[in-house]
Amino acid sequence: MTPHQPTPIGVSVKDAALLTSLGEKDIRDSVNRGEIPAVRRGTRIVIDYQGLVDWFRSHTPVVDKSA
């Protein structure tokens, strides 16, 4: 986010996948398991942005052992 853009409240599955570099299926599966907070509006899933960030940061970081 740039300083002139407000932080979004919710993002689409597609945008969540782009933000995290994960697949849309991975995001949908995590939403369906209740790991990522989201709301459904008809067939659309709107993911809580801060919840997505918290979920992503809660996972163990990958450590490069070759260095």
Residue 67 three-state SS = coil
Q: In the prediction, which pLDDT does 3 show? A: 66
Q: In the prediction, which pLDDT does 31 show? A: 97
What residues contact residue 14 under an 8 Å CB cut-off, 6+ apart? 24
Tell me whether residue 64 is in a domain.
no
* Long-range contacts from 17-23, C-beta under 8 angstroms, 24+ separation: 19/52, 20/52, 20/56
Q: Record the pTM.
A: 0.80
Q: Domain range for residue 48?
A: 10-57
Counted domains in the chain: 1
Q: In the prediction, which pLDDT does 49 show? A: 96
Tell me whether residue 5 is in a domain.
no
Q: In the prediction, which pLDDT does 12 show? A: 97
Mark the ranges of the chain whose per-residue pLDDT is less than 50.
none
Q: In the prediction, which pLDDT does 67 show? A: 59
